[in-house]
Amino acid sequence: MSKKPRVKVPKQAKAGELIQLKTLMSHVMETGNRKDSKTGKLIPRQIINKFVCKFNGKEVMSAELQPAIAANPYIAFYAKATESGTFDFEWTEDGGEVIKASGEITVS
């Protein structure tokens, strides 16, 4: 399945308001501990190992994921609305591939 992120950023908020951000990334999160049932060989680890959220270029939150995170990693958290701008989200996969998504918010 293609690695496609879903992000939920409220379109509007009042200054000082607490908003919840939700992210979902399609990924199998292969642990590296499983064996292929046909060949008996270990399936190499392949996970999303890092997640970063920035607002207008400044880091809000980041996370380092381990194989103990379930497939299709879901991360939800909060941010305080201060000004209008863009939330940028980045997921880094083992091997270095980076998948990006973003969401705009208007703060009044």
Partner 1 sequence: MKYTKYVASAAGLLGLGALLVACSPAEPKLESGYDFATPETQAMQDDDFSNPGFMWVDIGAEEWATVDGEAGKSCESCHGDLSTMKGVTTSYPKYNADDKKMRALQHQINNCRTEQMKAKAWKWESDQMLGMSAIIKNQSKGMPLNVSIKGEAAPFYEKGKEFYFQRRGTLDMACKHCHIDYPGVKIRAEVLSNGLPNGFPTYRLKWQKLGSLHRRFRGCNSNIRAEPYERGSEEYTNLELFLTHRANGVAVESPSVRK
Partner 2 sequence: MSTKSTKTAVLERRQVLKGVGFGALALAGTGLASREALATPEKATEYLAKMTGGAASKEGRVTVKLPEIAENGRTVPITISIDSPMTDNDYVKSVFVVAEGNPSPEVISFTMSPAMGKAEVSTRMRLGKTQNVRAAAIMSDGSVFTGTKQVKVTIGGCGG
Catalog residues that contact partner 2 under the rule CB under 8 A: 18, 31, 33-34, 42, 55, 58-71, 73-80, 82
Q: Considering the complex, state which of residue 2 and residue 108 has its C-beta at the smaller distance from partner 1.
A: 2
For partner 1, which residue of 8, 35, 80, 100 counts as binding (CB under 8 A)?
8
Asked if 43 touches partner 1 (CB under 8 A), the answer is no
Q: Which of 11, 40, 41, 70 binds partner 1 (CB under 8 A)?
A: 70
Question: Which residues are within 8 A (CB) of 60 and not within 5 positions of it... i.e. 6 or more apart?
Answer: 53, 54, 79, 87
Tallying the residues shown for the chain, one arrives at: 108
For residue 91, give every residue at least 6 positions away whose Cβ sits within 8 Å of its Cβ, in sequence order, or none. 3, 5, 25, 27, 48, 50, 51, 73, 98, 99, 100
Between residues 25 and 81, which has the closer beta carbon with respect to partner 1?
A: 25
Find the binder of partner 1 among 1, 38, 58, 96 (CB under 8 A): 1
Residue (31 or 82) nearer to partner 1, CB: 31
C-beta of residue 92 within 8 angstroms of C-beta of residue 40: no
